[in-house]
Homo-oligomer: A and B are copies of this chain.
Amino acid sequence: MSDLVKQTHGSHGSCSIEQALGLVGDRWSLLVLRDCFRGLRRFDEIRRDLGIPRAVLADRLRRLVDAGILSRRRYSDHPPRDEYRLTQMGRELSPILVALMHWGDRWLQVGDPPTVLIHSACGEPFDLGFHCTHCAVDFGPLEVASRQSEAILP
């Protein structure tokens, strides 16, 4: 299996969003990572949970390990067995999963969302928000604009 990364389509090949999506922007990677956040570590645990084809999971795990998002760790020599854990780089993906989850909760009206991520200190759900150090205020997603063009109004 191969690229998944599009080096420079268009004028913004260096955009961090494109770089990030090159690593985790396919249909399965973020779901695999969600399972890692849920504590799943073994090939077959993840495979059964997601229903992902074995070949694709093997490929995605290889890719995520190569990228430094997961680490492969031997937990048994006889038989040889590895498990996969989030590195710090991987754990810092949590804002992306949280943002996806909050947006899905808000707009896709799933009846009873299985709350996935919580504040580790207290076990409660939490908010995700923006903070402007320049203005010293918190704000919401509608106050986000772009430097190239301010015009995002509807």
Binding site for B on A (CB under 8 A): 4, 6, 9-12, 14-21, 23, 25-27, 30-31, 34, 36-39, 48-52, 68, 71, 85-89, 91-108, 110-124, 126-135, 137-139, 141-152, 154
Contact = CB atoms under 8 A, between A and B. Distances in A.
B144 A104 contact: no
Copies of the polypeptide in the assembly: 2
Tell me the interface secondary structure of chain A in the complex.
Answer: mixed
Contact of A15 (B12, B16, B17, B116): B116
A87 B151 CA distance: 13
A116 B147 contact: yes
Contacts of A11: 49
Contacts of A149: 38-39
A112 B19 CA distance: 13
A145 to B, nearest CB: 4
A16 B128 contact: no
A111 B14 contact: yes
Contact of A99 (B95, B104, B151): B95
Contacts of A12: 49, 114
Nearest to A47: B10
A152 to B, nearest CB: 6
